[in-house]
Amino acid sequence: MAHTSRSRRPSGAHRRALGALVAAGTLLLAGCGGGGGGGGDQPPGADGTLSIATGGTGGVYYPYGGGIANVLSQSVEGITATVQETNASVDNLLLVQNGAADLALALGDTVADAVEGAGQFEGNPVDVCTLGKLYNNFTQPVTTGATGIRTIEDLRGKRVSVGSPGSGTEVIAVRILEAAGINPDTDIQRAQLGVGETVQALRDSTIDAGFWSGGLPTGALVDLASTGDMVLIPTGEYAKPLSEQYGPYYLSEEIPADTYQGQTQPVPEVVVPNVLVVRSDMPEQLQQDITRTIFENKQQLTTVHPAAEALDPATAGDVGFVPVCPGAQAYFEQAAG
């Protein structure tokens, strides 16, 4: 069973940490517990617990991370895994760096900045390795039919959420806006909302559009699309300039037609791979055990979220922007026969 934990950030910002028990694709909430398994002063898993930094409850990281916590608790002897609700990628890497989490789901571009000590991690590199790629995050800027917004350029002068502070969504939103010639600080009325808050703000007409980066489909957007009035704004044209400027983890891929209600045509969007990262001091055998458990429980994880369909040990280790953990690499080589 996966329990709950409370993150310990140096800023003192409050973070809810909720437990996850996943059965038949349902995420159930449980009581409260301690912080990160390693506590920053011993290797992850040394005390029998592992803490996974995820994201908000309206996105994909949280239920997916809950599924991972559940299969690890069931299958890795002597380990109980927990999940933390966070603001996602940037937040997650800081939690790992500070010992308040042992594993984290994060976007490739954010991880690349973290290991290089660039961007929001300027002069403060994070020592992590990856257990592999999990699935691609689709940039999903959304609006409603009434706004008339159909392109990124249309966002100039509008009220736009660029995602929660400390999220991977914020990183990619700012870069896309800049690629379109829009200053995210002066050319829009900038808001910083999570995906659930973005949906509510669109319904209340307090924002005109909002960015979200997540797997398909994202629950909060499914809810918004149920009204038949959600519009996805394409971003695929910006993948090449972003890749040239920042790195090869920016690609263009279409959100298939009918992913969301009322979305009758495919929509090209910028995609970024999601990776699972761990503290580099995690023992190699535990790295291998975690990696094997995740990839060999693909079917169970798919019942939690369809994004798990993308789990593939043949390609999961093809990551060029963060070191692949030696224990994970050993598993991938074994799986390849």
Residue 27 and residue 19: Cα distance in Å, rounded? 9
Q: Residue 185, class by beta-carbon neighbours within 10 Å (0-12 exposed, 13-18 middle, 19+ buried)?
A: exposed
Predicted pLDDT of residue 182: 98
Structure tokens belonging to residue 151: 């392109």
Q: How high is the pLDDT of residue 58? A: 85
pLDDT for the residue 248? 87
List the domain boundaries for the chain: 3-136+274-335, 138-272
Q: What is the CATH number of domain 3-136+274-335?
A: 3.40.190.10
Listed as ranges, residues in the chain with pLDDT below 70 are 1-40
Q: In the prediction, which pLDDT does 30 show?
A: 33
138-272 shares the fold of 3-136+274-335: yes
CA 121 to chain centre: 17
* Residue 278 near residue 44 (C-beta atoms within 8 A): yes
pLDDT of residue 337: 83
Which CATH number fits the domain 138-272, given the four candidates 3.40.190.10, 3.20.20.370, 1.10.3720.10, 3.40.50.300? 3.40.190.10
Distance CA 272, CA 107 (A): 6
Q: What is the pTM of this model?
A: 0.81
